[in-house]
């Protein structure tokens, strides 16, 4: 019987100039739908997991297009509510070489930002579920949305679900000070904490020693200490941190670490040439959820998640459209990219 995972968050309309054009050069935009938790749901559906995405979208053709996009990839959309003002939009200009990517948000008064606790019947939503996933983006959308997240976390634990949270700090949505205060109230419900190389510092003030994020220098020992402090402060069962070594907008080193039961694991490092980096962390989170649900050992779970996320960097759009077999092939060392006939 397939495991069921519930993801709660915002789905947005992404508009990007074709290729590597700058905003000022664009005469058209490519359309993609995505968002942190939505991307996780799509990845899990690709892996054969019963993935359910919960959100609120406007009751208009654009909102229905977002629902249909999730259905297209096999995600359960029964609990995607309709109502509110509009679908949030973000504009993405893809960077290259030494020119960074640029994001412009247009999400004020989005449907999910106007959602209330009463919009979601968590007892019904969590019926038969095994896992609940959310990110730090969702409660940042407003105090009312944070209350909905809090109610979801409480209901998930009462129903016996495993709860995962990707800290996903967004400075354009709230300050580090507010993020730390609000996110700390959710952490007692969280079993699996996921972060990137700077989230723990931005949200909880826990900094990795001997690391220079902008310079691409990341200390494994420093991040082991970060994971240990997160575990000590909040009592997580698992702490996982992605480690992006930025060389340029086009090339990164990609790895991750995992801390559980007093043991640290660091994944293989992948030098990646980037097609689209958006959603890399979501692909990692989905890989962890999939492997833990299917009984992988800690080291294999980490390697699967890191390999899945590595592959995401080669795929246009927000979501990771790969199969379990493709991830396992990369895990096994077949990384040359040779044509498969």
Q: What is the pLDDT of residues 210-269, one digit of tens each?
A: 555 555 556 677 778 888 889 999 999 999 999 998 899 999 999 999 999 889 999 999
Distance (Å, rounded) from C-alpha 189 to C-alpha 280?
Answer: 25
* Domain at 4-331, CATH class: alpha beta
The mean per-residue pLDDT over the stretch 110-117 comes to: 94
Q: What is the pLDDT of residues 16-63, one digit of tens each?
A: 999 999 999 999 999 999 999 999 999 999 999 999 999 999 999 999
For residues 75 and 94, what is the distance between their CA atoms, to the nearest angstrom?
27
**Catalytic residue flag (residue 325):** no
User: Whole-angstrom Cα distance, residue 254 to residue 249?
Assistant: 13
Distance CA 240, CA 264 (A): 10
| Residues in CB range of 249: below 8 A, 6 or more apart | 95, 96, 97, 98, 99, 100, 101, 274
Region 185-209: mean pLDDT is 89
Q: Backbone dihedral region of 53: left (phi > 0), alpha (psi from -120 to 50 degrees) or beta?
A: beta
State the Cα–Cα distance between residues 67 and 141, nearest whole angstrom.
20
Distance CA 294, CA 282 (A): 18
Q: Are 11 and 35 in contact (CB under 8 A)?
A: yes
Residue 334 or 54, more confident? 54
Matching residue, tokens 């826990």: 206
Among the options 282, 298, 300, 325, which is catalytic?
282
| Dihedral over Cα of 60, 112, 192, 242: its sign | positive
Predicted pLDDT of residue 318 = 95
Average pLDDT over residues 323-329: 96
Residue-wise over 9-20: b if at least 16 C-beta within 10 A, else e?
bbbbbbbbbeeb
Residues 6 or more apart whose Cβ sits within 8 Å of residue 11: 33, 34, 35, 38, 53, 55, 57, 66, 69, 70, 87, 112
Quickly state the pLDDT bin for 73 (edges 50, 70, 90).
very high
Mean pLDDT of all residues belonging to the chain: 93
């Amino acid at each position: 019987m397939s495991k069921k995972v519930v993801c709660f968050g915002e789905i947005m309309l992404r508009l990007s100039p074709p290729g590597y054009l700058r905003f000022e050069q664009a005469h058209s935009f490519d359309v993609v739908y995505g968002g942190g938790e939505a991307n996780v749901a799509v990845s899990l559906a690709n892996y054969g997991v019963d993935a359910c995405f919960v959100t609120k979208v406007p009751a208009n053709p654009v909102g229905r297009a977002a629902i249909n996009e999730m259905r297209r990839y096999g995600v359960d959309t029964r609990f995607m509510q309709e109502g509110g003002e509009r679908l949030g939009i973000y504009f993405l200009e893809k960077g290259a070489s030494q020119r960074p990517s640029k994001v412009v948000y247009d999400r004020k008064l989005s449907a999910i930002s106007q959602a209330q606790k009463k919009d979601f019947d968590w007892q019904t939503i969590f019926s038969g579920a095994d896992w609940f996933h959310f990110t730090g983006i969702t409660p940042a959308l407003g105090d009312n949305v944070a209350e909905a997240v809090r109610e979801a976390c409480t209901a998930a634990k009462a129903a016996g679900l495993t709860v995962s949270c990707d800290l996903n700090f967004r400075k354009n949505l709230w300050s580090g000070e507010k993020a730390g205060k609000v996110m700390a109230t959710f952490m007692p419900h969280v079993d699996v904490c996921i972060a990137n190389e700077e989230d723990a510092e931005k949200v909880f003030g826990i900094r990795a020693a001997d690391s220079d994020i902008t310079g691409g220098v990341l200390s494994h020992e420093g991040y082991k200490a970060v994971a240990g402090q997160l575990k000590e402060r909040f009592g997580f069962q698992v702490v996982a941190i992605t480690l992006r070594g930025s060389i340029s907008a086009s090339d990164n080193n990609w790895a991750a670490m995992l801390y559980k039961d007093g043991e640290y694991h660091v994944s293989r490092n992948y030098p990646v040439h980037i097609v689209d980096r958006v959603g890399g962390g979501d692909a990692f989170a989905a890989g962890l959820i999939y492997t833990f649900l299917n009984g992988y050992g800690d080291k294999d779970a980490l390697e699967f998640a890191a390999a899945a996320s590595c592959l995401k960097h080669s795929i246009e759009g927000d979501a990771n459209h790969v199969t379990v077999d493709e991830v396992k092939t990369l895990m096994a060392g077949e990384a040359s990219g040779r044509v498969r006939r």
